[in-house]
Structure 1
Amino acid sequence: MKLKQRYDLIVVGAGAAGIIAAITAARLNDKVLLLEKLPQIASKLKATGGGRCNLTNTLNNEEFMSKFGRNGRFMQDALKEFDYKTLINFFKEIGVDTHAPDGFRVFPTSHNSSTIISALIDEMQRVGVEVLVSQRVEKLLVINNQISGIQTTNNIFNTKRVIVATGGLGYPTLGADGDGYKMAQELGHKVTQLYPAMMPLYTKEKWVKNCRADTIAKVELKVDMKKQSKIKVYGDLIFTKNGIRGPVVLDAARDLTPLLEKYGEVPILLNFTKGMNEEQITKYLKELFSKAPHLTILELVNTLLPLELSNEICKLAGVEAHLSYKKIAGEQRAKLINLLAWTPLTVIGHEGFKMAMITRGGVDLREINPKTMQSKIVDGLYFCGEILNLDGPCGGYNLQWSFASGYLAGASFSKNTFIENI
């Protein structure tokens, strides 16, 4: 095994958090080594947002943190140093223009993640970050509770400061295998229970396969369980052969996967009518029928929903789709209107981490200093990004957190501010 030269900082993991940490530290004149176990860097970043790379969003810090739940305030110091405006300026500085076409989600104007990755690579070269790929870290070396180096499969690298930015368990084909969690646990850190999040879901109901032609916009999804009634998400939905996907499903999955593990199945209710309630739907159908009495009930419902979904909801209500509104029995009409307001489905499973964009759970935040991202257990050990127990919804939340935490960890490494424990 070869003994390599000493570095001021070694970053493990060349994703969004690790790359920006390395750049930030190198800009502060640190000698930085970035290690990646795959043959190329930023594999997951390249796939983010379907390759379009939704970098962040335009929420203020308070609103942004609230979307992460009770752990959100842990991000306060990181966001204070590196919020979405700072991120936009950073990319502009390295040659990437961004915009927010919907006023909320921020993308590179190219809408291509390769633009982001190329700019980051160029900046790492400019500031002197040494990048080594195909380097699997086997062990973090510690002497007297102080990081002393890193052991890879073939080499030992000396350093007194390490950032672990290895991400979560989602998308194992892009390199995720939980190695960072193992490193953390070996050094005494607690890792909370890990769940796959942000992914498609399977349903018990088979009729969903008949509705795959259209995207349903502005759907509200809520959990139909008394103790979980606060779980509500909004967004577009797409039916699949075996269930549902789309932004609203990806956001809901964060909360549903732990419930699935506990209960086996989770009943949900979906409003496909853009928030209309039973009274509003009743009024709408009556008024439309009075103007167009020749329309069948299927044709009336089709003015609210795509044809395939309209047909399935009529079937669920036991309504003959070819009849007129007036000829439907009152009980059936009430059932139809109830189903239009809230359509029930039962979530029964998912594909696990194979299709999970992010991981729910991670290194316990109570063991990390939020002002620096440094471990409270081992001196010189830092964590950032998805490996920590923080996950947010779709819309640039998780990438912003990765960039902000990576920046804060990297900024903590300036040789001018770091005091070594002797």
Structure 2
Amino acid sequence: MNDDMYDLVVVGSGAAGLIGAVVAAREGKKVLVLEKLSKIASKLKATGGGRCNLTNTLSNEEFMSRFGRDGRFMQDALNGFDHNDLVEFLKGIGVETHAPDGFRIFPTSHSSQTIIDAFENELTRLDVEIKCEQRVERLLLEGEHISGIKTQDAIYKTANVILATGGLGYPALGAEGDGYILVEELGHKVTDLSPAMMPLKTKEKWQANCRADTIPKVELRVDIKKHKKLRAKGDLIFTKEGIRGPVVLDFAREVTPLLKKYDEVPILLNLTKGKNEEQIREHLKKISQEDPDKTIVELVHTLLPLPLSEELCKLATIEPDLKYNKIEGQKRDHLIKLLAWTPMTVTGHDGFKMAMITRGGISLKQIEPKTMQSKLVQGLYFCGEIMNLDGPCGGYNLQWSFASGYLAGQLKN
């Protein structure tokens, strides 16, 4: 038993936990941060390949809409701490930021270590105690109130706990889902969990010949009648086993839950920057008339990289060196359909070991959005990825972690 009494114990040292600790300590609270790894902020360090896309410049309304139907749960947190507030907060602890593309906001250093160092300095200034290599085994209660935390080698007394243990993505960085187990023991419901933000594997193999190029402005959509509204847009990269790139990271959060229902998920890819069949037909016809000596693969190459052009001609069973007007109409129509919407079939992924975030989490119905406090246990707060709320790429999930952690750290009862 540790005889010290803490006003707050924060479990987890990601973005959400760190800012929650700072906010509480600034209000004069005695704060302890527990981290099961040997150092803090391991996942934050890896965010965005280490470049750390902190947030973005969208309005709160637009920001919430990108999270789907549950996005409005964030309203109170964002009203109290939006992207402008985050930029000011970081500036106050010595981190300058900028938005080089006018949308995504990064530290000017483009290094997540800058963020971690600034938080460590601020926590030291505020006398926040940090204990690493502390695995929490149980949350202790007196009636329906938090009374402490038990780790593998100590008990810490406290009336308030912020659970910021994250999800299941990147287990090598500490994500093991232990937070879910802790709260389920207290009666909280955890929804189905799926890996998200990750590459996808496909049944097709032709794409392995098209790995050299990034295809811009691709639209992906699910080709299942009841799920046709699921779609995403962005840059795509073909891989030996399937597809990756920003658009796939966004799309994966919609597809991975479907793979639990269906063995395979058929998808359609518009690789031609949104052109429809008629526009593609007119484009090919026009280029062919301007230069009758161009082969069909050379014509398609005016829209797409050459390796991809060759593969799509093969899929349409067209000899790539044929001239446009020498191709039979049915095959030409088939090629144009393929250029407008190329079919592929998602068959799997690499699981949580490659997932940047987790789809699913603690049910939002059991959390008070104005405080981030549990509706079941007094003094228990949640923030970040542990909750059933996830967004696309582009600073959404990190902003949500900071906003929810900032609100939780206020310890509003």
Q: TM-score range by the shorter chain?
A: over 0.9
> What letter is aligned with 1:54?
N
Shift of 1:3: 2.2
* Local SS of the residue matching 1:230: coil
User: Taking every aligned residue pair, what percent have the same amino acid on both sides?
Assistant: 68
Instruction: Report the counterpart of residue 353 of structure 2 in structure 1.
Output: 354
Counterpart Cα distance in 2 of 1:291 and 1:50: 45
Instruction: Report the counterpart of residue 50 of structure 2 in structure 1.
Output: 51
Counterpart Cα distance in 1 of 2:370 and 2:292: 66
**CA offsets per residue over residues 267-323 of structure 1, 9 Å max, x none?**
000011000001111111111111122211111111111111111100001111011
Is contact 1:4–1:155 with CA below 8 Å preserved after alignment? no
> What letter is aligned with 2:394?
G
Counterpart Cα distance in 1 of 2:138 and 2:128: 22
* Local SS of the residue matching 1:141: strand
Counterpart Cα distance in 2 of 1:93 and 1:327: 68
Instruction: Report the counterpart of residue 145 of structure 2 in structure 1.
Output: 146
Q: Where does structure 1 lack aligned partners over 5 or more consecutive residues?
A: none
Pairing of 1:194-213 with structure 2 (within 5 A): 194-213=193-212
Shift of 1:90: 0.8
Instruction: Report the counterpart of residue 311 of structure 2 in structure 1.
Output: 312
Give the ranges of 4+ consecutive aligned residues of structure 1 lying more than 6 Å apart after TM superposition.
Answer: none
Shift of 1:412: 2.4
Shift of 1:326: 1.1
Shift of 1:86: 0.4
Counterpart Cα distance in 2 of 1:4 and 1:265: 55
Q: Where does structure 2 lack aligned partners over 5 or more consecutive residues?
A: none
Counterpart Cα distance in 1 of 2:166 and 2:343: 35
Pairing of 1:87-98 with structure 2 (within 5 A): 87-98=86-97
Is contact 1:12–1:163 with CA below 8 Å preserved after alignment? yes
**CA offsets per residue over residues 68-107 of structure 1, 9 Å max, x none?**
1111000000000000010011111111111111111111
Counterpart Cα distance in 1 of 2:366 and 2:220: 34
Shift of 1:63: 0.6
- 1:72 aligns to 2:71 (yes or no): yes
TM-score normalised by the chain length of structure 1: 0.97
**CA offsets per residue over residues 215-252 of structure 1, 9 Å max, x none?**
11110000011100101100111111100011111111
- 1:241 aligns to 2:245 (yes or no): no
- 1:28 aligns to 2:27 (yes or no): yes
Counterpart Cα distance in 1 of 2:339 and 2:153: 62
Deviates more, 1:30-39 or 1:3-12: 3-12
Is contact 1:12–1:18 with CA below 8 Å preserved after alignment? yes
* Local SS of the residue matching 2:234: strand
Counterpart Cα distance in 1 of 2:338 and 2:307: 15
**CA offsets per residue over residues 156-211 of structure 1, 9 Å max, x none?**
11000000000000000001111100011011101011111110100000111111
Counterpart Cα distance in 1 of 2:325 and 2:115: 58
> What letter is aligned with 1:395?
G
Instruction: Report the counterpart of residue 217 of structure 1 in structure 2.
Output: 216
Shift of 1:126: 1.3
Counterpart Cα distance in 1 of 2:406 and 2:375: 19
**CA offsets per residue over residues 8-45 of structure 1, 9 Å max, x none?**
00000000100000001001111100000000111111
* Local SS of the residue matching 1:213: coil
- 1:344 aligns to 2:380 (yes or no): no
Counterpart Cα distance in 2 of 1:409 and 1:388: 13
